[in-house]
Amino acid sequence: MKVVITRRIPESIKQMLENDYNVYMWQEDNEPIPYELLLEQVKDADALFTNVSDRIDKQLLQAAPNLKVISTMAVGYDNIDIDEATARGICVGHTPDVLSEAVADLTFALLLATARKVVEAMDYIKEGSWRGWGPMLLTGQNVYNSTMGIIGMGAIGKGVARRASGFGMKVLYHNRRRREDVEQELGVEYCTLNDLLQASDFVVMLAPATPETRRMIGERELSLMKPTAILINTSRGSNIDESALCSALKERQIWGAGLDVFEVEPIHANHPLIALDNVVVLPHIGSATIATRMEMAEMTAQNIRLGLSGAKLIHTVNPDVYNRGS
């Protein structure tokens, strides 16, 4: 059987697949396989080891008649046409849980970096601008004792809420459905999106990308936020209307934004957000610790091995696939 791997992965993980299957691996670490090449490679593929930046659409699935498993090295799967995969009997695996704490850490790193102008301050030294201590030089926003509003209270949201309690923060949240279990466990408070936006010093976007969450933060929502508030996004760029955010930041309608994800990735140095002095941007590195990425890669390979042997995956995105025809 043939497994297509769309990015260069650590040798030990590749071995897990090479022992039993023919493996084609795209050799670049950080550059996506061209769509046309992937289209060619999947023609006789039984399994696909993919990631957030590959477009796994209907056309690609139609070109892969033997495909049995798609395994993405990510928790999010908005880049994959799940309905088409299910209709074709293809199991889709992903890697939740193992990355939650790493993403929660990065969310906090971005929050602190934005609130306390950490990146701007280092640039200030690099530019040779540091002449001496200044009373209001590089002053930011208080984090300790502030109010955080988390949109999307899943495993990552819980991780962020736990960290927030160490910073003495009050935590509000908004979620598709109310999570009374989490309220009891972590003392967080459910509220409407409008109330959350109006009350929070830090609005933290952690919802998955779905048709319902698409651009859920736009001009109206940004206008409800405090002028001193900061928006953090470590989920998916499509959850926020980027041009509305750019205008709100430019006009100082909100104080700042820390973004790890974008509507179209990668962004380049000439992206309008880069020109702003109240933004910290990162290249989608939420789960990027060595240990976490190794665990994700291993689980992605395991999902392929399980799927190709006819067993259930560790985490299946489309469990309906197991009930087809029964």
Termini Cα distance of the chain:
26
> Could you tell me if residue 252 is left (phi over 0), alpha (psi between -120 and 50 degrees) or otherwise beta?
left
Q: Report the residue number, 72 or 278, with the smaller CB distance to ligand GLV.
A: 72
* 300 binds ligand GLV per the rule CB under 6 A: no
Q: One of 40, 220, 265, 324 is an active-site residue; which one?
A: 265
**Close Cβ partners of 152 (under 8 Å, ≥ 6 residues apart):** 174, 175, 205, 206, 207, 208, 213, 235
Which pair of tokens denotes residue 67? 């495909």
94 is catalytic: no
Mark whether 284 is an active-site residue: yes
Instruction: Look up 220 and say whether it is catalytic.
Output: no
Q: How far apart are CA 205 and CA 235, in angstroms?
A: 6
Question: For the chain, what's the residue count?
Answer: 326
Are 1 and 21 in contact by the 8 Å Cβ rule? The answer is yes
Per annotation, catalytic residue among 94, 174, 179, 284: 284
Q: Which of residues 31-60 bind ligand GLV (CB under 6 A)?
A: 52
Q: Kindly name the residue from 94, 163, 236, 315 that is annotated as catalytic.
A: 236
C-alpha span between 260 and 237 (Å, rounded): 8
Q: Tell me the CA distances in angstroms from 136 to 117, 133, 139, 217, one per residue in order.
A: 12, 9, 6, 31
The strand ranges marked E within 43-158 are 47-50, 69-72, 91-93, 147-151
Question: Which residue's CB is nearer to ligand GLV, number 79 or number 247?
Answer: 79
Binding mask 263-292 for ligand GLV (x = CB under 6 A): -----------------------xx-----
Distance CA 80, CA 120 (A): 37
> Taking the complex as a whole, how short is the minimal distance between the CB of residue 260 and ligand GLV, in angstroms?
8
Neighbours of 173 (CB within 10 A): 26
Closest contact distance (angstroms) between CB of 66 and ligand GLV is 26
Kindly state the smallest distance separating residue 138's Cβ from ligand GLV, in Å: 30
CB of 96 to ligand GLV, least distance (A): 8
Q: How far is the CB of 39 from ligand GLV (least distance, A)?
A: 23
Nearest residue (CB) to ligand GLV, 70 versus 99: 99
11-18 helix and 290-308 helix, angle to the nearest 10 degrees: 10
The residue with tokens 């070109």 is 63
Number of residues that bind ligand GLV (CB under 6 A): 7
Min dist. Cβ of residue 117 to ligand GLV (A): 26
Interaction mask 59-78, ligand GLV, x per CB under 6 A:
---------------xxx--
- Residue closer to ligand GLV by CB (options 99, 230) is 99
On whether the CB atoms of residues 188 and 173 are closer than 8 A, the answer is yes
Q: At 228, which helix (H) or strand (E)?
A: none
**Which residue, 52 or 91, has its beta carbon nearer to ligand GLV?**
52
Q: Which of the residues are catalytic?
A: 236, 265, 284
Binding site for ligand GLV (CB under 6 A): 52, 74-76, 99, 286-287
